[in-house]
Amino acid sequence: MEELMDIYAESFKRFEEGQVVTGTIIAVDKDHVLVDVGYKSEGQIAIREFKGEDGSTNVNLNDQVEVMVEFWDEERETVILSKEKAANVKVWDLIKKIYDEDQIIEGVILNRVKGGFSVDVGLPAFLPGSQADLRPIRNMDEMVGQTYNLKVLKYNRKRSNIVLSRRVILEKDREKARAKTLEAIEDNKDMEGIVKNITEYGVFVDLGGVDGLLHITDISWGRVKHPSELFSVGDKINVKILSYDSKKERVSLGMKQLTPDPWITAIEKYPVGAKINGKVVSLTDYGAFVELEEGIEGLIHVSEMSWTRKVRHPSKIVSMGQEIETVVLDIKADNRRISLGIKQAIRNPWDLISAKYPIGTVIEGKIKNITDFGLFIGIDDDIDGLVHISDISWTKRIKHPSEIYKKNGLVQAVVLDIDKSNERFSLGIKQIQPDPWNTVEQRYRVGTEISGVITNITDFGIFIELEEGIEGLVHVSEISKEKAKIPSDNYKINESITAIVMNINSDERRIGLSIKRLKEEEEEKTVKDFSQNLNPAATSSFGELLRDNLEEVAKPDKKKETKNIQDAENKKDTHI
């Protein structure tokens, strides 16, 4: 009996709260699972611990199960067990072992939390954001649901706290790869890498624990505005080792060096005079850059864009991305320069204009522009002809062409001259009609009496309009026999007046008139008529003397007349 009591007591000695033991499932009801753990009575586990996420119960009789002894229920004389807590105890033991032995544990990232991630490693654990990768993570949501190998940085069983790190593992892997990469790096060697970071001046490439810089100028033989146009972080790319500084551990990379320099064969591919198609890749104030192939660009200067138009900006002729035909004007492969032209791809219209419009041809065109010095008239093919202000009228004094013409008005003109070398097309409007001064001597003979309207009065004389555009000058000395006075005292603008033509100079477009001479001739005629009407019978000495005196008075003073004419000419010269 005493022996039995010792055995019974021993069974209680082995019974400790928190102890994990293995038992056998002997019964299942709706609330509990009974497990034989070798104690004086069966232990109970709540049925919920055997239910899955879908609510089904996964339990079978005689299954072996690890459980933790929670406590002894004296009222029901039953041991309360827990399958879940037993599993947690095992995980904590595993965590301790992994930590002590510096091992790796696998975990699944459940979701993001403040400062990092919640991770399932059998128990809830925390992965700080700074320990998730070697560099800051741009999109942390991409890691949720992923399984990673992790390192236990620290744990506290009482507080149920586990802190993990992925970065520690990555750093060790990188160091191993780095050592291996450094052994393999050598100048001019081709290697594969992963784009790690992108900046405006280049791309940082991970070659395997060693970062190299692929400068923007070494990405392509062609134009690269920003590396992000060609690469994304994580891209695998092939590069060439340009240089390696082992002391500073700096690696310079190149991508364009994987292919031959296109300028080596540029002279053969693009001879002067060849027509080449290309794409406009850049516009500046002075021209457009055209890509002929990757790595080769040519410049079309604004002066080489049109035969006829003055191009102020290349955007008036071409646009970005446009495919155009060009002609090679010059190539300097050593300086990596090609000069191109657009206008040379078509025939120069100035080569045809002389044959199309011979001198003397009358053309009709629209006035495209009016300036102080003349009119620009559109002809064809963007060629404009200039009518100089002096070629608008034979006779009118024109201060500004806009007095007569308006922009976009149609006008006829005569081709006067074509200067192909300077690209000048001279036109004349007045030349359509004959020059009225060519016949003025026939229409206004010297000595004839004319009538006209006063158009201008000056201190030295009066200007009289004989017909539209033709004026004559009555010098102040030719106004009256009396002492010269200011003409404006006796004459007014627009007053009709009669005078006699004294002289004409068609070359200099001058006509000299005289009012005084007209009056003198009238007086001479009166005296002559009177003397001739004297009675011939009156032969007294007094009568003869009177007649002789009258005839002497009637004779003109030729010298004085000549002097007055010369003075009028000189004054007219001064006025003109």
Model confidence pLDDT, tens digit, residues 133-145: 887 887 888 888 8
| Structure tokens, 524 | 């001479």
In total, the chain counts a number of residues equal to 576
Interval 324-355: pLDDT, tens: 999 999 999 888 899 999 999 888 888 788 88
pLDDT of 375 reads 92
| Fold of the domain spanning 263-345 | OB fold (Dihydrolipoamide Acetyltransferase, E2P) (2.40.50)
Q: Which residue has the tokens 């009156």?
A: 538
Q: Which residue has the tokens 């149920």?
A: 160
148-156: long-range pairs with CB below 8 Å, 24+ = 148/106, 148/107, 148/109, 149/104, 149/105, 149/106, 150/104, 150/105, 150/106, 150/107, 150/119, 150/121, 151/104, 151/105, 152/95, 152/98, 152/99, 152/105, 154/99, 155/92, 155/95, 155/96, 155/99
pLDDT of 538 reads 46
CA distance 91 to 88: 5
| Fold of the domain spanning 102-170 | OB fold (Dihydrolipoamide Acetyltransferase, E2P) (2.40.50)
Q: What is the pTM of this model?
A: 0.49
pLDDT of 76 reads 67
Instruction: For domain 185-258, say whether CATH 2.40.50.140 is its number.
Output: yes
DSSP state letters, 303-364: GGS-SS---SSGGGT--TT-EEEEEEEEEEGGGTEEEEESGGGS--THHHHHHHS-TT-EEE
Same topology between domain 102-170 and domain 350-432? yes
pLDDT of 562 reads 45
- The DSSP code for 531 is H
Segments in the chain below pLDDT 70 = 1-19, 38, 40-41, 49, 51-57, 72-77, 84, 381, 484, 529-576
Residue 370 belongs to what H/E stretch?
A: strand 362-371
What would be the CATH architecture of the domain defined by 2-87? Beta Barrel (2.40)
**Chosen CATH of 350-432 out of 2.40.50.140, 3.20.20.70, 3.30.70.1140, 2.160.10.10:** 2.40.50.140
pLDDT of 541 reads 57
Domain-wise residue ranges, the chain: 2-87, 102-170, 185-258, 263-345, 350-432, 453-498+514-571
- The DSSP code for 396 is -
